Structure 1
Amino acid sequence: MPTLSEARIATILAPFLPSPPPDILPKLSAYLELLLKWNARTNLTAIRDPEEIVRRHFGESLFAGLHLASEANTLLDFGSGAGFPGLPIAILRPEIAVTLAESQNKKSTFIQEAVRTLGLKAEIWAARVETMPQTIQFHTVTLRAVDNMVAALSAAAPRASNDLLLLTGLPPIPPTGFTFQKPIPIPTTQSSILLRGTRD
């Protein structure tokens, strides 16, 4: 018996994704169950409440997915953690080739298991993004809850051929070569914004 029904997940997601495609709900439900199971024995996220996980992690990630450029075909999730926002985006936008970069072994191992369990085509980069060959680029690079946003942005910018997409609090200074668009408030929170940087 799942922790939350698919109908309940859809209700919680309504402010972020008003009409979730029905085929994504079973995958989100399976992702939630796997995350709760792993989180009980290894700390992947400080949020323990299933509804709050759906709201904060799934909802914000899917909201970011809605605001990707329509032509986005490759995406790097920088410092993916337990897979946010990259995995929900991979579920919502299966046509995008998503790469999840996470250097912490326990988290990259979990992401690999989640990708396998959910039958996704996402790739895993189980190392620091800085070690990725300079020739590898992505249409969009996403950043959420990174430890040092300034350092992360300087490492992320060379990987983005078109866009940076940040889920953040205060807007940072844009890296050289990028311009930030008007911030978009993230639903149900007073402190988080979605910030899209486009290459000049």
Structure 2
Amino acid sequence: MPTLSEAQIANILTPFLPSPPPGILPKLSTYLELLLKWNARTNLTAIRDPEEIVRRHFGESLFAGLHLSSEATTLLDFGSGAGFPGLPIAILRPEIAVTLAESQNKKSTFLREAVRTLDLKVEIWAARAESMPQGLHFHTVTLRAVDNMAAALAAAAPRASSDLLLLAGIPPTPPPGFTFQKSIPIPTTESSMLLRGTRN
């Protein structure tokens, strides 16, 4: 199965992550290889082209990771899918305790395998994030490519003690108690932006 060299990955990521930290490229390369292998037999992502996976999934996720608050110590990736943006953020910011919430069994199984293979200290919540214990909160909750952003925001907001970080197309209305900061355009795309919501 065709994959990409670390140098090719670094080149594609330049607009998103101009100076990759030491040790990040081997992990991203392994993650890409694993994703391509699994995606060939079970549909984890509609994007099949390795370069496009690096650009759209890895690049946008790492760009989001660069814009996290310096105070972020815990992060919930709400509806993580194949791990975006949560897994690239965990690779970029290993000091953050990341939890990936994904209710689809085939995707949560892949996430467990990815976390094990990449040797990351990441928790998997293999159920709907709404079913988490009532008092469980995270500094930041990330959302990306969800079908119904308004409903997802309403469910995600109570989990965020400080920030919401959205990778979105059309800016949604902020949930009660949050204010969106100025949107940040995501490199190489005209349709996606990064939105950070902070608690009032």
- Fold-level similarity (TM above 0.5): yes
Letter in 2 for 1:78: F
1:134 alignment counterpart? 134
Q: CA deviation at 1:2?
A: 7.1
Q: Does 1:48 align with 2:48?
A: yes
Q: Which secondary structure does the structure 1 equivalent of 2:38 belong to?
A: helix
Letter in 1 for 2:197: G
1:190 alignment counterpart? 190
How many residues were matched structurally? 200
Percent identity, aligned pairs only, is: 87
Paired with 1:7 and 1:22, the residues of 2 have a C-alpha distance of: 13
Paired with 1:154 and 1:172, the residues of 2 have a C-alpha distance of: 11
Q: CA deviation at 1:68?
A: 0.1
2:112 alignment counterpart? 112
CA RMSD of aligned residues (A): 0.9
Q: Does 1:20 align with 2:20?
A: yes
Give 1:1-200 correspondences, 5 Å limit.
3-200=3-200
Normalised by the size of structure 1, how large is the TM-score?
0.99
Q: Deviations over 1:40-60 (max 9, x none)?
A: 000000000000000000000
Q: Which secondary structure does the structure 2 equivalent of 1:25 belong to?
A: helix
Paired with 1:122 and 1:165, the residues of 2 have a C-alpha distance of: 18
Normalised by the size of structure 2, how large is the TM-score?
0.99
Paired with 1:115 and 1:155, the residues of 2 have a C-alpha distance of: 25
Q: Is the 8 A contact 1:73 1:97 kept in 2?
A: yes
In structure 1, the gaps of 5 or more residues are: none
Paired with 1:193 and 1:3, the residues of 2 have a C-alpha distance of: 28
Letter in 2 for 1:143: L
Letter in 1 for 2:33: E
Paired with 1:34 and 1:137, the residues of 2 have a C-alpha distance of: 30
Q: Which secondary structure does the structure 2 equivalent of 1:198 belong to?
A: strand
Q: CA deviation at 1:67?
A: 0.2
Q: CA deviation at 1:22?
A: 2.7
Q: Is the 8 A contact 1:2 1:29 kept in 2?
A: no
Letter in 2 for 1:160: A
Q: Deviations over 1:80-114 (max 9, x none)?
A: 00000000000000000000000000000000000
